[in-house]
Amino acid sequence: MSKFFASIKELPPDPLFGLKARYNNDTRSDKVDLGIGAYRDNNGKPWILPAVRAAEKQLVESEGYNHEYLGISGYGPFLEESAKVILGKESPAIQQKRVVSQQSLSGTGALHLAGAFLRDFYTPEKKGDTHAIYVSKPTWANHNQIFTSLGLDVKTYPYWNAETKSLDLDGFLSTIKSANSGSIFLLHACAHNPTGLDPSKEQWDTILKALSDKDHLLLFDSAYQGFASGDLENDAFAVRKAVADESIKTPIVICQSFAKNCGMYGERVGAIHVIPHEKDEGLNRAIQSQLNKLTRSEISNPPAYGAKIVATILTDSKLRQQWQDDLTTMSSRINEMRSKLRNRLTNDLKTPGNWDHIVSQSGMFSFTGLTPEMVSRLEKNHGVYLVSSGRASVAGLNEHNVDRVADAIDEVVRFCSKSKL
């Protein structure tokens, strides 16, 4: 090894993109990709949303269309409209001009900006000696490395009860209580990744009250708005409830991605919205200037194309309606596949175990409960690819492959249970 890179070690491939590469290299014609969370149509093909197609056409044909630099904060119309998408047009925070928005490289870029910003400037009143950020156990694999690489102390709160395949509310609440006041809590706004399990409205009430009692800072990751219920407004419930809650005095930070709900994965469209509790124009300007500095030093200025398309959709009532229809198309097809998979496993194949969670979970993913051994056999013997945690992207199922996938799951479940006896 070079003396100049004495401690360098080769890392294993990224769990999700490594899986994608193995899938791409697989020559079996009937392989099935249930890995990365990207919507596929009923033929297993990427889908350009009709709203996006129409907006692209409108945009490139518009007068003055160009590829000039954006300002450092991003594309103004996109920032204004994206805040309304997550907070609601009537949001008190928007009306009181408390929202500081900055364009980001999709959700990951927003989380990175949030982490760096909070690390440098968040000064809770009663703080331990660390910048602790609590993430759900389990959570999206990238959360951990985004915040660890920024030097934050990543801790976990219980979320998924594997036994009951439901929310571990008691564990969650007890960690909220025992954490140092003013800790950062990362919350999935909806369609929890990887479990597909969201707290009910009543559970959200309890969780938000507990967080507010300990003055924790709420950091929302909103990557799937529109995928949980098919409706943008419903899926923003938790965020809007928190923002409207007068008892929450700490700032609220929202990391928003349009990768999934606009099907614009590679265009990296997203934003961070920082919402201080108090109305203070000077503070807002200071926050924006620091976000600008971070942005300028890392990417100079954000990418324009995707943000302009999203802004075109959001500012045109017809396109906006089309987008809502597209979200319904995607979420209904996913729900149909959930039912088909569950019914085949339960009714036709009588696969050992209970598979009702496949239909009760929502969003793009199902946390199937399959073990790493079963997942590995699915990939090797059946060409069905999912993450070793047992997370399946239901969007990869379609009418042509769902029965085959169910048959494969049935085989691995029976095989692995037998080999344990």
Shortest CA distance to 182 belongs to which of 221, 227, 132? 132
Measured from the CB atom, the residue of 17 and 69 that comes closer to ligand LMR is 17
Measured from the CB atom, the residue of 139 and 175 that comes closer to ligand LMR is 139
Nearest distance from C-beta of residue 391 to ligand LMR, angstroms: 8
Nearest distance from C-beta of residue 298 to ligand LMR, angstroms: 18
d(CA 413, CA 331): 28
Three-class secondary structure of residue 371 per DSSP: coil
**Per rule CB under 6 A, is residue 193 in the interface with ligand LMR?**
yes
User: What residues contact residue 63 under an 8 Å CB cut-off, 6+ apart?
Assistant: none
Contacts of ligand LMR in 31-90 (CB under 6 A): 36-37
> Taking the alpha carbons of 135, 139, 143, 148 in that order, is the dihedral positive or negative?
positive
Measured from the CB atom, the residue of 183 and 195 that comes closer to ligand LMR is 195
CB 180 within 8 A of CB 125: no
Nearest distance from C-beta of residue 260 to ligand LMR, angstroms: 8
Kindly state the number of chain residues that form the binding site for ligand LMR, as judged by CB under 6 A. 6
Has 260 been annotated as catalytic? yes
Measured from the CB atom, the residue of 142 and 292 that comes closer to ligand LMR is 142
**Per rule CB under 6 A, is residue 20 in the interface with ligand LMR?**
no
Nearest distance from C-beta of residue 41 to ligand LMR, angstroms: 18
Going by the DSSP 8-state scheme, the letter that residue 130 receives in this structure is: S
Catalytic residue among 260, 323, 340, 355: 260
Contacts of ligand LMR in 122-181 (CB under 6 A): 140, 142
Nearest distance from C-beta of residue 106 to ligand LMR, angstroms: 9
State the residue number with the nearest CB to ligand LMR: 37
Q: What is the CA radius of gyration of the chain?
A: 22
Catalytic residue among 33, 198, 221, 326: 221
The two structure tokens encoding residue 172: 């969650």
Count CB atoms within 10 A of the CB of residue 22. Answer: 14
Whether the ω angle into residue 138 lies within 30 degrees of 0, i.e. cis, is yes
Going by the DSSP 8-state scheme, the letter that residue 279 receives in this structure is: -
d(CA 38, CA 339): 19
**Per rule CB under 6 A, is residue 16 in the interface with ligand LMR?**
yes
Measured from the CB atom, the residue of 257 and 398 that comes closer to ligand LMR is 257
Shortest CA distance to 50 belongs to which of 259, 257, 329? 329
Count CB atoms within 10 A of the CB of residue 309. Answer: 26
Whether the ω angle into residue 12 lies within 30 degrees of 0, i.e. cis, is no
Rounded to the nearest 5°, which phi and psi values hold at 45? -105, 150
Catalytic residue among 47, 140, 160, 323: 140
Nearest distance from C-beta of residue 141 to ligand LMR, angstroms: 7
Nearest distance from C-beta of residue 296 to ligand LMR, angstroms: 25
Has 221 been annotated as catalytic? yes
Nearest distance from C-beta of residue 142 to ligand LMR, angstroms: 6
d(CA 107, CA 281): 26
**Per rule CB under 6 A, is residue 388 in the interface with ligand LMR?**
no
**Per rule CB under 6 A, is residue 227 in the interface with ligand LMR?**
no
Measured from the CB atom, the residue of 142 and 335 that comes closer to ligand LMR is 142
Measured from the CB atom, the residue of 194 and 276 that comes closer to ligand LMR is 194
Rounded to the nearest 5°, which phi and psi values hold at 311? -65, -35
CB 310 within 8 A of CB 78: yes
Measured from the CB atom, the residue of 16 and 299 that comes closer to ligand LMR is 16
Helix pair angle (76-87, 237-244), 10° resolution: 90
d(CA 393, CA 410): 18
Q: Where are the alpha helices (DSSP H) in 63-140?
A: 76-87, 92-95, 106-121
Residues in touch with ligand LMR (CB under 6 A):
16, 36-37, 140, 142, 193
Residues tagged active-site: 140, 221, 260
